[in-house]
């Protein structure tokens, strides 16, 4: 299996200060991508595809189920069968606000809100539940990958 070294990303931390973070930190985590699409032009598809093809332990969540890239899509995070270490949201912010509730129930401690999937309410709700939040940063920063 080919492992691609994904680019560095910038993480907005709770103090508003950005810190460099590399994708190597994610290598050992189980990641759920919420908002995977069957359509290759959509970012949910691209993020799932790139993480999967790079060898990350990634599970897709798509409300309609089915398969993407030959991998089963789960209708909810709970349906994955294991608790992911991190959730990446690629959905409208209203959906992210509901996903945070599922993260709280499952005990998920980290969420990455892709641009467009975050809102001040979602960020504050996650923080109030003790969930580490990354926002204002794309997990697949454009360095020639897209």
Segment 37-72, tens digit of pLDDT: 999 999 999 999 999 998 999 999 999 999 999 999
CATH 3.30.70.1230 fits 32-134, yes or no: no
pTM (two decimals): 0.82
Where would I find the beta strands (DSSP E) of 22-131? 30-34, 57-61, 67-68, 71-74, 86-89, 110-113
Residue 128 structure tokens: 């109030």
- Per-residue model confidence (pLDDT) at position 1: 36
pLDDT greater than 60 at residue 16: no
Better-predicted residue by pLDDT, 10 or 42: 42
Mean pLDDT within 94-111: 96
Q: How confident is the model at residue 22 (pLDDT cuts 50, 70, 90)?
A: low
Q: b/e map of 100-136 (b: 16 or more CB within 10 Å)?
A: bebbeebebbbbbbbeebbbeebbebbeebebebbbe
């Amino acid at each position: 299996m080919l492992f691609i070294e994904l680019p560095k990303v910038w993480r907005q931390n709770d103090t508003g200060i950005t810190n460099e973070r590399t994708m190597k930190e994610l290598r050992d985590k189980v990641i759920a991508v919420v908002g995977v699409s069957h359509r290759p032009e959509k970012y949910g598809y691209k993020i799932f595809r790139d993480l999967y093809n790079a060898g990350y332990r990634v599970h897709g969540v798509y409300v309609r189920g089915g398969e993407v890239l030959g991998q089963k899509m789960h209708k909810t995070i709970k349906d994955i069968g294991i608790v992911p270490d991190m959730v990446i949201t690629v959905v409208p912010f209203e959906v992210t606000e509901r996903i945070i509730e599922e993260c709280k129930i499952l005990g998920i401690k980290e969420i990455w809100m892709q641009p467009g999937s975050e809102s001040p309410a979602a960020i504050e709700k996650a923080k109030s539940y003790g969930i580490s939040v990354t926002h204002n940063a794309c997990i697949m920063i454009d360095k020639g990958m897209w």
